[in-house]
């Protein structure tokens, strides 16, 4: 194994949550009377922290209305959680293969809130898969590299022995900023050509391809 720490994005990399995020954000905008949001607009901000996503989606939105949009989105998303979201094919078996290596640590770096990540950890028992995690509301949002710096420190791993895996340019830009190797997964929200601009060391069309590559 060439790495001691593999850090995963969550939405669009491990979990197939794109359609739910889009639908909940569009509904929340309607709830507060904001202009309709296009699906492509919402897809483009998946991976950012919620305040940063709203600022990009709704330029000029005032603070009180932005807060209301955040609340409505959270309400919509929690309500939708009655129907569990699925992991992408191969994630559960692939992570199990990685966890079998006692010299490898796994972590999560996500634009979700801590409450949101913990909720999904509890819903499917996946919290035990990871040695550490960072969310956008407890550090700086992607693409700033602070969450990666904190994970490196917590796990006691040098940046040269760590890898970031993500489906958006925010993930890869964050890793590049700190000098970390990065893998692009092309089944998520950003197009492969956008991801290629950040010079990933590998691109995977399926999660199983990533796991096989890590074991080479």
Question: Is there a contact between 190 and 73 (Cβ–Cβ < 8 Å)?
Answer: no
pLDDT of residue 216: 79
Question: Is there a contact between 185 and 191 (Cβ–Cβ < 8 Å)?
Answer: no
User: What are the sequence ranges of the domains in the chain?
Assistant: 5-16+86-215, 18-80
Three-state SS at 7: strand
Residue 133 dihedral angles phi and psi, to the nearest 5°: -155, 155
Give percent of the chain above pLDDT 90.
94
**Could you say which architecture CATH assigns to the domain 5-16+86-215?**
3-Layer(aba) Sandwich (3.40)
Residue 73 dihedral angles phi and psi, to the nearest 5°: -60, -45
The pTM (predicted TM-score) of the whole model is 0.94
CATH 1.10.150.240, applies to 18-80: yes
Q: Report cis status (omega within 30 of 0) of the bond before 32.
A: no
pLDDT in tens, 127-181: 999 999 999 999 999 999 999 999 999 999 999 999 999 999 999 999 999 999 9
Q: Which residues are catalytic?
A: 9, 11
Separation CA 9–CA 155 (nearest Å): 17
């Amino acid at each position: 194994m060439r790495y001691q720490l593999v850090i995963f994005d969550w939405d669009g990399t491990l979990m197939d949550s794109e359609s739910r995020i889009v639908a909940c954000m569009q509904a929340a905008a309607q709830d507060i009377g904001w202009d309709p949001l296009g699906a492509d607009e919402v897809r483009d901000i998946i991976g950012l922290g919620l305040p940063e996503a709203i600022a990009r989606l709704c330029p000029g939105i005032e603070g009180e209305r932005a807060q209301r949009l955040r609340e409505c989105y959270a309400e919509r998303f929690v309500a939708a959680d009655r129907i569990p979201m699925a992991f992408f094919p191969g994630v559960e078996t692939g992570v199990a293969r990685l966890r079998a290596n006692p010299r490898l640590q796994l972590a999560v770096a996500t634009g979700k809130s801590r409450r949101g990540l913990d909720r999904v950890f509890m819903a499917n028992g996946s919290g035990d898969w990871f040695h550490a995690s960072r969310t956008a509301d407890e550090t700086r949002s992607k693409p700033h590299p602070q969450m990666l710096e904190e994970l490196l420190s917590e796990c006691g791993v040098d940046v040269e022995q760590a890898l970031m895996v993500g489906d958006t340019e925010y993930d890869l830009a964050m890793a590049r900023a700190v000098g970390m190797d990065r893998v692009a997964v092309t089944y998520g929200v950003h197009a492969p050509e956008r991801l290629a601009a950040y010079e990933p060391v590998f691109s995977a069309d399926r999660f199983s391809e990533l796991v096989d590559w890590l074991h080479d």
